[in-house]
Amino acid sequence: MTILDGKKISNQIKDEIAIEVASMKERGEKVPHLAAVLVGTDGASLTYVGSKVRSCKRIGFESTLHHLPSETTEKELLQLVHQLNEDPNIDGYIVQLPLPKHIDEQEVLMAVHPDKDVDGFHPTNFGKMALDMETFISATPYGIMELLRRYKVDTEGKHAVIIGRSHIVGRPISILMSQKGKAANATVTLAHSRTKNIKELTLQADIIVSALGVPHFLKADMVKTGAVIIDVGITRVEDATKEKGYYITGDVDFEAVSKKASYITPVPGGVGPMTIAMLLKNTLLARERHRKNA
């Protein structure tokens, strides 16, 4: 059994990007600049955004954090989005989700210019991804693909079962893994809340990607020996004995399932860190594109 060490690989990727940034500086070029928009004070969002900004610093990117109060109106947020679209200094930016309930998320994501949409959430970028054109691929599915590629996991002709049809994980990874190319060419089944006999499916799977958000959903008796297990679930479970008052757990009953798996991602330290690395890679791509089109 091999641990798919997302922390290690994401550090490798960050180091690779840092080298590129250093040579950009040497050539006297502008370095990539990522902006992040955060509305409100959701704990997990603060953690994610903070981590993204720290990663930018570490690899030599410029970064700007726009932290707006919870009572920001949709109109005010859209004004900032338009400003970021126009700002030639910003190569890419993200609007951290979830947004407060009085703001229409879809409206905001549609307003982000596709050329700066390093989260890959805009329909134009999602469509390009689905049609196998060059684009910004959402960081989480992109991170899973990169993890499979770096560990040279054989996916060709394998049966992959994806659990969960969310627009940010299940849907895009089901598309990417069934396309032509590396870490792809799998026969993909997309399972979701209406799926009957999920166990019957997972027992056939050579690869399982669980993106459900239900702690310990995937048990050892649902997995065949030698399967590749990708755990995208990240749930905070309250626990007074922990310093932070909670611990993080995935969809997979790691202890039991890891004994049967050929490869498995831990939580934390698996898919999570890959997400940030791929966001940075998208920002680097955005900078390259802007330089070429300047």
The catalytic residue among 14, 52, 116, 281 is 52
Cβ-based nearer residue to a copy of itself, 92 or 270: 92
Nearest to 264, CA basis, from 276, 252, 248: 252
φ and ψ of 153, to 5 deg: -70, 130
In the complex, the smallest distance separating the C-beta of residue 57 from a copy of itself, rounded to whole angstroms, is: 33
In the complex, the smallest distance separating the C-beta of residue 256 from a copy of itself, rounded to whole angstroms, is: 25
In the complex, the smallest distance separating the C-beta of residue 141 from a copy of itself, rounded to whole angstroms, is: 13
What is the rounded distance in angstroms from the CA atom of residue 135 to the CA atom of residue 116? 11
Cβ-based nearer residue to a copy of itself, 24 or 209: 209
The catalytic residue among 5, 14, 91, 96 is 96
φ and ψ of 161, to 5 deg: -110, 120
Tell me whether residue 106 is one of the annotated catalytic residues.
no
* Sheet strands (E) in the chain: 2-3, 33-39, 62-68, 92-95, 159-163, 187-191, 207-210, 228-231, 235-238, 246-249, 263-264
Cβ-based nearer residue to a copy of itself, 44 or 214: 214
Cβ-based nearer residue to a copy of itself, 27 or 152: 152
Could you give the C-alpha distances from 1 to 9, 217, 227, in angstroms and in order?
17, 20, 10
The H or E element spanning position 47 is: helix 43-59
In the complex, the smallest distance separating the C-beta of residue 211 from a copy of itself, rounded to whole angstroms, is: 14
φ and ψ of 133, to 5 deg: -100, 160
Tell me whether residue 14 is one of the annotated catalytic residues.
no
Reduce the DSSP state of residue 2 to 3 states and report it: strand
Tell me whether residue 12 is one of the annotated catalytic residues.
no
In the complex, the smallest distance separating the C-beta of residue 220 from a copy of itself, rounded to whole angstroms, is: 22
Kindly list the residues in this chain that would bind a copy of itself in the complex (CB under 8 A). Answer: 106, 122-133, 156-157, 165, 167, 171, 174-175, 178-179, 185-192, 194-196, 201
3-state secondary structure 92-153: EEEECCCCCCCCCHHHHHHHCCHHHECCCCCHHHHHHHHCCCCCCCCHHHHHHHHHHHHCCC
The catalytic residue among 5, 91, 117, 119 is 119
Cβ-based nearer residue to a copy of itself, 206 or 253: 206
Active site residues: 52, 96, 119
